[in-house]
Chain A
Amino acid sequence: MLDARSAMASAKPFVSEALTLREAPDFTIQQLSWFTTADEKSLKQALGAMPLRVGSTAESDHGLLLRIGPRQLWCFGKLPEFYGDVLVTPLSSSRTRIEVAGAKSRDLLTHCAAIDFHENAFKPGHFVMTGIHHTPVTIHCIAENQFHLYALRTFGLSVWEWLVDASEGLTNA
């Protein structure tokens, strides 16, 4: 197997008392797209679950599912066989995953995007497709104060540098 190389090979984790940033590599994303309600039904049957609204998530037998569009979702796992017009686009290399964790993680995110990250508004399981540092980023809340940020791979290091700079401001404040 060819060696996989991260876009953030040169980045070192940022660790402070209330905030930790690190790369969370080793994930797979398969984008599934379809055209009709019938396609969606068969897909749901195959996956065993289906997040119903855009912005919602579901845990399936085949991994985590993120509904990223009216007729699109991301699956973080191994896919079953599909029938019908379900299109698969592998995107595992397209994103860099950054984990933000700690008591100040929500504070950090308020520096990044115009999203309400209050604990009552952005709860574990929620995700949002937004922008950080002028680049598209998907933010997924995986626990109370723990988030996965999916940045475009080619911007990954730049987004990381932005996050570290904002974190330094927070932790030095």
Chain B
Amino acid sequence: MTAFRRRGSGGRIDRTTTIPFTYDGSRLFGHGGDTLASALLASGKTLVGRSFKYHRPRGFLSAGVEEPNGLFTLGEFGRTEPNMPGTLTEVHEGLIAKSQNAWPSPDFDVMAVNSLASPLFGAGFYYKTFMGPFKRSWMFYEPFIRKAAGLGRATEQTDTARYDVINGFCDVLVVGAGPAGLATALTASRSGLRVVLAELDFELGGSLLSGTNESLERWRKSAIEELSQQPNTRILARTVVQGLYDGNQALLHTRAVPGSVASRSESLRFKTIIHCSGAIERPLVFHNNDRPGVMLAGAVRTYLNRFALAPLKQAVVVTNNDSAYATAFDLAEADVAVTIAELRAAPSGDLLARAAQLGIAIFPNTGIADVVGTKQVQQVKLGGRHSVTIDCDVLAMSGGWSPNVHLTSHGGIKPRYDEKIAGFVPGEFAAAHFGAGSVLGEFGILAAVRGGEAAARASLEFIGHKKSVKAVEPPPIRDDRAYGISSVWGTASDAKKAFVDFQNDVTAKDVRSTHQEGYLSVEHMKRYTTLGMGTDQGKTSNINALAMMADLRGLSIQETGTTTFRPPYLPLTIGALAGRSVGHHFRPTRRSPMHDWHESHGATFIEAGLWMRAWYYDWAGPSPETAYVKEMQLVRKGVGIADVSTLGKIDVQGPGAAEFLNRVYVNGFAKLAVGKARYGVMLNDDGVVLDDGTTSHISENQFYLTTTTAQAGEVMSWLEYLLQCHWPDMKVHVTSLTDEWGGMAVSGPKSRETLQLAFPETDFSNEGLPYMGVKDITFDGATVRILRLSFSGELAYEVHCPANFAIALWEHILRAGEPLGIKPYGLEALASLRIEKGHVAGLELDHRNTLDDLGLGKMAAKEKPFIGKELRQRENLQAPERRSLVGLELMEPDKKLRGGSILFAATDEIKGHGRGYVTSVTWSTELQKFIALGLYQGGLEHEGEEIIAAFPLKNEQARLKLVSPHFIDKEGARLHA
């Protein structure tokens, strides 16, 4: 069935180009300049979808951004985008569009059976129906309801489109390129300042595109030509200003040019913004006002004049305002027989006179009683003073115009109801915000042009621009006529299917029942009925619903208020926000200075935070389960080398450095001798352990502080915070050296021998470099810092050097130690060795444990103050039932011990949170069994007891023996060797 015919001439389409596209599997054709909507209408597709709830046949309501019905799924495979309005989609070769919410097709939709049960499906149906009969009934129904709900279906395939996100800056942002926006942009552009003109259509001109006035067209073209030649002006077509945020920031999204796959989001900082976002026409509410062919009057005019689509023969126009007469007149001039149902008593004389000239019949005090035709309008039954039935192809309706106050409200500014135009206008603008044209309720073109220029001048003045700017020549047209409107919202007092919100199938009856149920606030009405939700966010429905609720409550519309406008203005695909931060670029990758070496020498990597760390090496085996054991044995029996560059490293310098560290760490650093290192623990100011590490005294006023890998950034921030906010007078500077220095641990009984071979001129004896000693040497032109300390529990050293030389030094040590069998070991072995030794690490330092919990309480100095000293004394932090560090040995070799297992006493019922949990597990090469560290209530008071580790996720339990966390070399003989 068809309602429109393509005219032989006129319009803005390019008849010389014919563009094939696919719609529901059929090959159709459009012209350059067509939207999907206009091309479908030209192809006889008036019915293009089904409604959300009742599956009623639906056609296009509008020709623009407000479209609630004509939504399509575009593209296929990974490029599938659901819910795209056909009114904004440009026809292009390769376009694949599918109708939504209909199966097998909009013409014959199986789910249309829903409409038979529609009396049951009123507002609140789901809330009332699916709560019983049992307590958890909703939980049962919910998955089914969710499956049935929603518009369109997103693809589960990877999106292959490219989304870029950029940052922009400008002096003046102009939103909308209608007559007001063009005049604004011209004025601002002539100042020489940086101007951005954002227009959501693919053509500039706004309402001018829907008219036929040649003077206006010349003016539009001339304005665009001038603007496009200004280097200081960026014209962004296809661009939606999606949201405004604090600090004069706007989010813009520019759709991909047809045929390309790149769309772009821009975070734009502006000095001033000028709202020229226009207005949106409202429908009227009457019985069957949703039938395909019932359209907004302005849209009918747009299809007629912009897309050269005229109703076949006859059209009815119903209106409560003057604006629809332009549509009626243009239709009549296109040889369409037009009848006007005028809801008002008497339109103004000039309109009556023109209508008479064109042979248009006007029925005053008359509305629409019913629309006949299910899949397309066939007849209209007038109601009111005149009860007449009229054949027609299209019913054009106008309930007046609603200024587009969405963006102007993003800053929390509530719109204000203006009785004069029967619509909301922006409330008082915030500083730097200006407006012009229809958005302010000024609907005339000359008013828009003059307003635009004035707004631009005010904005330039706000910025402080002093130079004179050439005036904008207004288009040579007659003066604007006054806009006449009567606040008549429809004739739906007893209509059953008079739709207020087309997209959500909300009827006037639903609004009435909402009121009867006691949901009086507009916010409650929205949630109860879903009115104003969905992809169109109530762009055509809000005012009508507010007016009805105001009437039912006996309040004014202003008193009834609006719901809250929030970004985004239009639905935005997540990809547009994510930009290039997807896949490999989702987050940055951090690589050690020795990364390339590891990669080319058989390392398998593992992500540790942002770091890529060598997990294990292929010399030790093909899988981590076996390789790390071999690597551990290497360190326990010979010598291994591990990359520890990921440790946080901080340069602490200044006359106050020692005192600063003395305050930061729980143990003393004031008297640490130059050339010595000390293990230190620092607390948060709430008395809980923040981090640990080793700090070396390099020279009188310089220390070299190391942190755990995980806490490196946090410790650095913490130290800076303390210096800047708590102790600004301390003469200390801190600088992160994590990137500057690479580090390697040389560990094992043969480590001294290895380093002696590597650095023959350095004394590595106990006298030359005792345990916790540090010395800087120069080797082959590079500074090398050697610290004697051990994470593995063996005789060990850390060798640090500037990162540029790290690979060369690493290779040098490997070469030197080759006769001793040195090989690299990875993170898995590194972590396992420390478990055997009983050293705490990130899994235990999780910001929940105290010094005492970790068995480090004796480190805390009694005399000196330090951060967290007072608050660590809190009763709860000293409670005897707190969990503290223990060692655990698996007693059942055939069972598995897992990190995170919950610990219970042998006599406990295995239920709930237990008495503690396992933090770290490893196979012990020394003990030949699985061992673990954990936190357990009462800690070592239970040493020797048998306890239970439960892992409920896998329904596993295992018996453990609770032991000291120091599984090997408790006396420290090895590391002092």
Which residues of A come within 8 Å of B, CB atoms? 1-7, 9-10, 31, 33, 35, 71-72, 85, 87, 89-95, 110-116, 118, 121, 133-135, 152-155, 157-159, 161-162, 165-166, 169, 173
Given A5-B596, A153-B593, A169-B162, check contact A85 B654 (CB 8 Å): yes
**Chain A CB within 8 A of B194 CB:** yes
The smallest C-beta distance from B295 to any residue of chain A, in angstroms, reads 37
Q: Which residues of B contact A89 (CB under 8 A)?
A: 651, 653, 733, 735, 737
**Chain A CB within 8 A of B590 CB:** yes
Q: Which residues of A contact B702 (CB under 8 A)?
A: 87
Q: Which residues of B contact A113 (CB under 8 A)?
A: 167
Q: Give bound CA distance, A7 to B805, whole Å.
A: 11
Query: Which residues in chain B, 690-730, are within 8 Å of chain A measured between CB atoms?
Result: 701-702
Query: Which residues in chain B, 180-202, are within 8 Å of chain A measured between CB atoms?
Result: 194
The smallest C-beta distance from B528 to any residue of chain A, in angstroms, reads 41
For B774-816 the 0/1 string (1 means CB < 8 A from A) is 0000011110000000000000000001111111110010000
Q: Which residues of A contact B857 (CB under 8 A)?
A: none
The smallest C-beta distance from B563 to any residue of chain A, in angstroms, reads 31
Q: Give bound CA distance, A52 to B217, whole Å.
A: 55
B589 contacts A4, CB within 8 Å? no
Query: Which residues in chain B, 726-770, are within 8 Å of chain A measured between CB atoms?
Result: 731, 733, 735, 737-742
Given A2-B779, A93-B739, check contact A155 B166 (CB 8 Å): no
Choose among A9, A85, A92 the residue that contacts B596 (Cβ–Cβ < 8 A). Answer: A9
**Chain A CB within 8 A of B470 CB:** no
**Total of A-B residue pairs, C-beta within 8 Å:** 139
The smallest C-beta distance from A15 to any residue of chain B, in angstroms, reads 21
Q: Give bound CA distance, A154 to B610, whole Å.
A: 10
The smallest C-beta distance from B716 to any residue of chain A, in angstroms, reads 11
B593 contacts A154, CB within 8 Å? yes
B169 contacts A4, CB within 8 Å? no
What are 11 sample pairs from A and B whose C-beta atoms fall under 8 A apart? A2-B780, A2-B782, A33-B653, A33-B654, A89-B733, A111-B164, A114-B269, A115-B167, A134-B588, A166-B164, A169-B262
**Chain A CB within 8 A of B911 CB:** no
Q: Which residues of B contact A5 (CB under 8 A)?
A: 593, 596, 804-808
Choose among A35, A93, A161 the residue that contacts B585 (Cβ–Cβ < 8 A). Answer: A161
The smallest C-beta distance from A79 to any residue of chain B, in angstroms, reads 15
- 5 closest residue pairs by CB, A with B: A94-B740, A1-B781, A93-B803, A93-B802, A2-B808
Q: Give bound CA distance, A161 to B592, whole Å.
A: 16
For B155-183 the 0/1 string (1 means CB < 8 A from A) is 00000001011111100000000000000
A154 contacts B738, CB within 8 Å? yes
B169 contacts A116, CB within 8 Å? yes
**Chain A CB within 8 A of B633 CB:** no
Q: Which residues of A contact B733 (CB under 8 A)?
A: 33, 71-72, 87, 89
The smallest C-beta distance from B493 to any residue of chain A, in angstroms, reads 54
B739 contacts A95, CB within 8 Å? yes
Q: Give bound CA distance, A173 to B585, whole Å.
A: 20
B740 contacts A7, CB within 8 Å? no
Query: Which residues in chain B, 408-435, are within 8 Å of chain A measured between CB atoms?
Result: none
On chain B, the number of residues with a Cβ less than 8 Å from chain A's Cβ atoms is 55
Task: Identify the closest chain A residue to B809 (Cβ).
Answer: A2
Q: Which residues of A contact B591 (CB under 8 A)?
A: 7, 154-155, 157-158
The smallest C-beta distance from A67 to any residue of chain B, in angstroms, reads 15
B653 contacts A87, CB within 8 Å? yes
Q: Give bound CA distance, A170 to B516, whole Å.
A: 58
Q: Which residues of A contact B43 (CB under 8 A)?
A: none
Choose among B654, B782, B806 the residue that contacts A87 (Cβ–Cβ < 8 A). Answer: B654
| Sample of 4 more A-B contacts, CB < 8 Å, known A1-B782, A5-B805 | A2-B801, A7-B591, A9-B596, A114-B269
Task: Identify the closest chain A residue to B194 (Cβ).
Answer: A118
B803 contacts A153, CB within 8 Å? yes
Q: Which residues of A contact B596 (CB under 8 A)?
A: 5, 9-10
The smallest C-beta distance from A96 to any residue of chain B, in angstroms, reads 9
Q: Give bound CA distance, A16 to B165, whole Å.
A: 21
Q: Give bound CA distance, A133 to B589, whole Å.
A: 10
Task: Identify the closest chain B residue to A166 (Cβ).
Answer: B580
Q: Give bound CA distance, A154 to B713, whole Å.
A: 14
B592 contacts A154, CB within 8 Å? yes
Choose among B194, B260, B592, B805 the residue that contacts A4 (Cβ–Cβ < 8 A). Answer: B805
Q: Give bound CA distance, A4 to B611, whole Å.
A: 22
Choose among A31, A93, A121, A161 the residue that contacts B735 (Cβ–Cβ < 8 A). Answer: A31
Q: Give bound CA distance, A92 to B801, whole Å.
A: 12
Q: Which residues of B contact A166 (CB under 8 A)?
A: 164, 580
Given A90-B802, A118-B169, check contact A152 B739 (CB 8 Å): yes
Choose among A9, A35, A133, A153 the residue that contacts B588 (Cβ–Cβ < 8 A). Answer: A133
B580 contacts A162, CB within 8 Å? yes
The smallest C-beta distance from A140 to any residue of chain B, in angstroms, reads 18
**Chain A CB within 8 A of B584 CB:** yes
B166 contacts A3, CB within 8 Å? no
**Chain A CB within 8 A of B267 CB:** yes
B731 contacts A85, CB within 8 Å? yes
B593 contacts A7, CB within 8 Å? yes
Q: Give bound CA distance, A55 to B87, whole Å.
A: 49
Query: Which residues in chain B, 125-176, are within 8 Å of chain A measured between CB atoms?
Result: 162, 164-169
Task: Identify the closest chain B residue to A121 (Cβ).
Answer: B169
**Chain A CB within 8 A of B571 CB:** no
Choose among B162, B260, B739 the residue that contacts A154 (Cβ–Cβ < 8 A). Answer: B739
Q: Which residues of B contact A155 (CB under 8 A)?
A: 588-591
A85 contacts B655, CB within 8 Å? yes
The smallest C-beta distance from A158 to any residue of chain B, in angstroms, reads 4
Q: Which residues of A contact B671 (CB under 8 A)?
A: none
Q: Which residues of B contact A159 (CB under 8 A)?
A: 588
Task: Identify the closest chain B residue to A168 (Cβ).
Answer: B162
Task: Identify the closest chain A residue to B730 (Cβ).
Answer: A35
Q: Give bound CA distance, A3 to B805, whole Å.
A: 6
**Chain A CB within 8 A of B27 CB:** no
Given A135-B588, A157-B591, check contact A93 B655 (CB 8 Å): no
Task: Identify the closest chain A residue to B779 (Cβ).
Answer: A2
A162 contacts B802, CB within 8 Å? no
Given A85-B731, A154-B590, A161-B584, check contact A2 B655 (CB 8 Å): no
Task: Identify the closest chain A residue to B599 (Cβ).
Answer: A10
Q: Which residues of A contact B803 (CB under 8 A)?
A: 7, 93-94, 153-154
The smallest C-beta distance from A141 to any residue of chain B, in angstroms, reads 15
Choose among A87, A92, A110 the residue that contacts B802 (Cβ–Cβ < 8 A). Answer: A92
Query: Which residues in chain B, 570-585, are within 8 Å of chain A measured between CB atoms?
Result: 580, 584-585
The smallest C-beta distance from B199 to any residue of chain A, in angstroms, reads 20
Q: Which residues of A contact B653 (CB under 8 A)?
A: 33, 87, 89
Q: Which residues of B contact A112 (CB under 8 A)?
A: 167
A153 contacts B779, CB within 8 Å? no
Q: Give bound CA distance, A118 to B782, whole Å.
A: 41
Q: Which residues of B contact A152 (CB under 8 A)?
A: 739
A91 contacts B589, CB within 8 Å? no
Given A154-B592, A158-B589, A166-B580, check contact A1 B780 (CB 8 Å): yes
Q: Which residues of B contact A115 (CB under 8 A)?
A: 167
Task: Identify the closest chain A residue to B597 (Cβ).
Answer: A5
Q: Which residues of B contact A110 (CB under 8 A)?
A: 166-168
The smallest C-beta distance from A165 to any residue of chain B, in angstroms, reads 6
The smallest C-beta distance from A5 to any residue of chain B, in angstroms, reads 5
The smallest C-beta distance from A166 to any residue of chain B, in angstroms, reads 6
Given A94-B740, A95-B739, A111-B166, check contact A3 B808 (CB 8 Å): yes
**Chain A CB within 8 A of B467 CB:** no
Choose among B165, B585, B651, B738 the residue that contacts A165 (Cβ–Cβ < 8 A). Answer: B585
Q: Which residues of B contact A118 (CB under 8 A)?
A: 169, 194
Task: Identify the closest chain B residue to A34 (Cβ).
Answer: B733
Q: Which residues of A contact B738 (CB under 8 A)?
A: 154
The smallest C-beta distance from A83 to any residue of chain B, in angstroms, reads 14
Task: Identify the closest chain B residue to A109 (Cβ).
Answer: B167
The smallest C-beta distance from B815 to any residue of chain A, in angstroms, reads 13
B166 contacts A90, CB within 8 Å? no
Q: Give bound CA distance, A113 to B808, whole Å.
A: 35
**Chain A CB within 8 A of B587 CB:** yes
